[in-house]
């Protein structure tokens, strides 16, 4: 199952050695995976700071065929959408926990730019929060956080799996992606519930023993 073409792996360079990002991205390319996940944090929406549009731009210029999946964990994502679009983002993911005003404004920016769009939901947030936006039909994927966002290497929160089942039943055509504590075992649990895409961090960049299942 884990080698099935139906499974989409999205390595997150947040888990890579920050002093060796070029080799981390090269590892993704050499693995045959066609995309990379960029976790963008502002120190306010989550208690951590990562990197900005410049890193995205550098990756895009060096590896133009690599799809950039950008996850904005920001209080004001609308202020950063244009810079990340200019940097080469292929998809931008917002958080459902933000105010309706900010989400609506941000979604319009993304629609106007014809950019693929995702919505992320934290472990403690009710899945019902997503429904008003999903009914509009402009979201192409949902990112279900299976850890509390902000830091790589956390333990998978299995209690989010019913959310995956609910979303799969209600919106069968939307890609469901899980992010946090993902390895071959937890991905199998998510796949059984309906997830088809998995953001991988420490298990991809740091645990050499499970490299092969991502090929």
Report, as residue numbers or ranges, the catalytic residues: 39, 179
Asked whether 130 and 181 are in contact (CB, 8 A), the reply is no
CA 123, 91, 15, 53 torsion-angle sign: negative
**Local structure of residue 51 (DSSP, 8 states):** -
Asked whether 35 and 214 are in contact (CB, 8 A), the reply is no
CA distance 181 to 70: 18
Which of helix, strand or coil describes residue 41? strand
Which of helix, strand or coil describes residue 46? coil
Asked whether 159 and 146 are in contact (CB, 8 A), the reply is no
Q: How many angstroms separate the Cα of 70 from the Cα of each of 2, 119, 184, 211?
A: 24, 11, 23, 23
Asked whether 159 and 126 are in contact (CB, 8 A), the reply is no
Q: How many helices (H) and strands (E) does the chain have?
A: 8, 8
């Amino acid at each position: 199952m884990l080698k099935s073409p139906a499974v989409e792996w999205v390595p997150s360079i947040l888990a890579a050695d920050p002093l060796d990002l070029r080799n981390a991205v090269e590892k993704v390319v050499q693995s045959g995976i066609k995309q990379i996940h960029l976790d963008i944090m502002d120190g306010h929406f989550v208690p951590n700071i990562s990197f900005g549009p410049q890193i995205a731009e550098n990756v895009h210029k060096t590896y133009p065929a690599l799809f950039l999946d950008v996850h904005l964990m920001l209080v004001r994502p609308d202020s950063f959408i244009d810079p990340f679009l200019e940097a080469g983002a292929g998809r931008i993911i917002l958080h459902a926990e933000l105010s309706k005003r900010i989400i609506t404004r941000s979604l319009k920016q993304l629609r106007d730019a014809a950019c693929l769009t995702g919505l992320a939901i934290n472990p403690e947030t009710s899945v019902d929060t997503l429904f008003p936006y999903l009914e509009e039909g402009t979201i192409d994927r949902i990112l279900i956080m299976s850890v509390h966002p902000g830091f790589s290497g956390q333990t998978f929160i299995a209690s989010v799996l019913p959310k995956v089942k609910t979303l799969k039943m209600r919106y069968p055509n939307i890609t469901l992606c899980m992010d946090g504590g993902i390895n071959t075992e937890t991905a199998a649990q998510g796949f059984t519930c309906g997830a088809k895409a998995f953001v991988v961090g420490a298990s991809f960049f740091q645990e050499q023993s499970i490299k092969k299942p991502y090929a």
